[in-house]
Amino acid sequence: MSEKDNTVNIASEKNRYHHGDLRSALVEEGLKLIDTAPVDALSLREIARRAGVSATAVYRHFPDKAALLGALCLEGHARMAKAFEAAMASASPGVEAFNAMGRAYVTFALAHPSLFRLMMAQPDGPVPVPPPSAGGGGSDGMQILVNAIDGLFGPDAPVHVREAGRLRAWSLVHGLAMLMLDGQVPAEPALIDAVVDASVL
Amino acid sequence: MSEKDNTVNIASEKNRYHHGDLRSALVEEGLKLIDTAPVDALSLREIARRAGVSATAVYRHFPDKAALLGALCLEGHARMAKAFEAAMASASPGVEAFNAMGRAYVTFALAHPSLFRLMMAQPDGPVPVPPPSAGGGGSDGMQILVNAIDGLFGPDAPVHVREAGRLRAWSLVHGLAMLMLDGQVPAEPALIDAVVDASVL
DNA sequence: TCGGACATGTTACTGGTGTAAACATTATTC
DNA sequence: GAATAATGTTTACACCAGTAACATGTCCGA
């Protein structure tokens, strides 16, 4: 107990050999960096530098760079889930909730371009919308999104119809987000609306 | 004339100081490499190595790496245009042609993952579907694609409706392609059909 | 035909990266 | 309190993009 507290206090001092909670610090710095730079400009050494630690210290907490990026992804998914819940909260159920979700998806991507790219490039990581035939619950609180989508088709719709609809909805917002991130389509709210607010899926 | 021919002949010999047509050779090797490796594993030096030339020789033909990648993109767009034309040729006009186009888009992405990514990450390069409010002709023979899409809405549809439809169509296929490339959705033909063949846009 | 100008190649070097190995220091545990 | 494990550091290597200086070949005009 007191030893734990002592450790934390020591950890808050400067110029010590042991950092205290380097792993968290690395993730923190990584998240700060990734929000202000393209993905490929995110270097292990830079993160270590910002955490005030030698480059190779990272390897005491992550087997390689990909593992650190994986940790960033995890935090990214948590943030995305929050954004989704917020969007859900301020929309009445049904089509409106569905549209709010789509807007939240694109908005999140535009707000955190590199993080979003990283999250999507991680095939093993948790996924915002479980793909068809993926069975049960998605990541975090994302099941609510699936419910919103499925709600559009009614509970009596065949499974393959709901699954196809889910995939189409995901493809639609994901494609728009990507095109805007890559600068192929201007990131104008009106265009987001034009894609998301369509009455028919 | 004969001097030209002579140059070409000399260029076909080995172990000469001057390559003959290094620029084309670099693009060629780059295209070969990019079809068998992820984008970020594509190094200037490796391309030069395969072309049998020193690393810095590249800089006599391209100001930097991005320029070489840009040249690869150009060839990529040409190939994509060919794929589109082929898809168009073997489909009757109307909805069927439109669907064939969508399938061709996703299929091309899956066949050339890194090249496709590169093409889409090039905001200044030619674009398969001109974005709304982009005015006139797109790249290469892509206008035919726009026509196919616009045909779905009839010639009397308001401009903003056709533009929105175009954007939705592009987002849909692009999103599906990206999700499959990133491994978020299994690259199964049935899923492509499920997304592309939907009767309503 | 000779000789310079130019194009196109080379080597040497800088500063950046990810990562492995050996060593140093601190924390923990018997 | 000493052995051990955890956590950092230094050093080193291989690779990368890009610059500068130099080498070699081609071409054009006297």
Claim to verify: residue A36 and residue A109 sit in the same structural domain: no
Domain shared by A114 and A47, yes or no: no
Has residue A193 got a pLDDT over 90? yes
Does the CA dihedral A102-B116-A161-B193 come out positive or negative?
positive
B63 in helix, strand or coil?
Answer: coil
Q: Within this chain, do residues B111 and B186 fall inside the same structural domain, yes or no?
A: yes
Percentage of residues in chain B with pLDDT exceeding 70? 80
Q: Is A67 a member of any domain?
A: no
Q: Please check whether residue A54 lies inside any domain of the structure.
A: yes
CA B98 to chain CA mean position, Å: 19
Question: B58-88: per-residue pLDDT in tens?
Answer: 999 999 999 999 999 999 999 998 998 898 8
Residue B68 within any structural domain of the chain: no
Tell me the average pLDDT across A104-128: 90
DSSP state of A43: -
- Which chain C positions come under 7 Å from a protein C-beta? 7-12, 16-22, 25-28
B127 domain-assigned? yes
Residues B92 and B191 in one domain: yes
pLDDT digits (tens, 9 = 90+) for A147-180: 667 777 777 788 888 888 889 999 999 999 999 9
Asked if residue B130 has pLDDT above 50, the reply is yes
Return the beta strands (E) in chain B as ranges: none
Structural domain for B119, as ranges: 73-196
CA–CA dist A173, A149 (Å, integer): 13
Same domain as B94, residue B36: no
Clarify whether residues B99 and B155 are in a common domain: yes
| A81/A107 Cα distance (integer angstroms) | 13
B contact test, residue of A40, A168, A184 with most B CBs within 10 A: A184
Instruction: Check residue A62 and give its pLDDT.
Output: 97
Find chain B residues with C-beta within 8 A of A164's C-beta.
Answer: 194-195, 198
Same domain for A85 and A54, yes or no, is no
- Listed as own residue / partner, the contacts of A150-156 with beta carbons closer than 8 Å and 24 or more positions apart are A151/A93, A151/A94, A151/A97, A151/A98, A152/A94, A152/A95, A152/A98, A152/A201
CB within 8 Å: A195 and B168 = yes
Same domain, B26 and B110: no
What was the ipTM of the complex prediction?
0.88
- B7: the nucleotide nearest its CA (via C1') is D26
| Residues B35/B114, Cβ–Cβ less than 8 Å | yes
Partner residue opposite B175 with nearest CB, options A123, A127, A173: A173
Sequence length of chain A is: 201
CA-nearest residue to B166 within chain A is A195
Inform me whether the pLDDT recorded for A195 exceeds 70: yes
Chain A residue closest to B172 (CA)? A172
CA distance A91 to chain B (A): 23
Q: Which CATH number fits the domain that encloses residue A33?
A: 1.10.10
Through-space separation of residue B56 CA and nucleotide C11 C1' in angstroms: 10
When pLDDT is cut at 50, 70 and 90, the band that residue A5 belongs to is very low
Q: What tokens were used for B168? A: 């939705």
Give the model confidence (pLDDT) of A60-98 as tens digits. Answer: 999 999 999 999 999 999 999 899 889 888 887 778 888
Instruction: Give yes or no: residues B105 and B30 share one domain.
Output: no
Strand D bases contacted by the protein (CB, 7 Å) = 6-12, 15-21, 24-27
Neighbours of B6 (CB within 10 A): 10
Q: Above 60 in pLDDT, residue A135?
A: no
> How far is Cα B75 from Cα B9, in angstroms, rounded to an integer?
26
What's the Å distance between residue B38 CA and nucleotide C14 C1'? 28
B98 and B192 co-located in one domain: yes
Answer yes or no: is A86 within a domain: yes
Predicted local confidence at residue A37, as pLDDT: 93
Give the model's confidence band at B28: pLDDT under 50 very low, under 70 low, under 90 confident, else very high. very high
Give CA angle at A198 (A192, A201), nearest 5°.
115
B144: confidence class by pLDDT, cuts 50, 70, 90: low
pLDDT of residue B42: 96
Q: What Å value separates CA B46 and C1' D13?
A: 19
pLDDT band at A199 (very low <50, low <70, confident <90, very high): low
Q: Does a structural domain hold residue A152?
A: yes
Q: Tell me, yes or no, whether A95 lies in a domain.
A: yes
CATH (domain of B106): 1.10.357.10
Give the model's pLDDT for residue A136.
Answer: 44
Mark whether A184 and A136 lie in a shared domain. yes
- Tell whether B67 is covered by a domain: no
B83 and B167 in a single domain? The answer is yes
Count how many domains chain B has.
Answer: 2
- The Cα B126–Cα B119 span in angstroms is 8
| Chain B residue with minimum CA distance to A121 | B182
Give the mean model confidence (pLDDT) for residues B98-103. Answer: 90
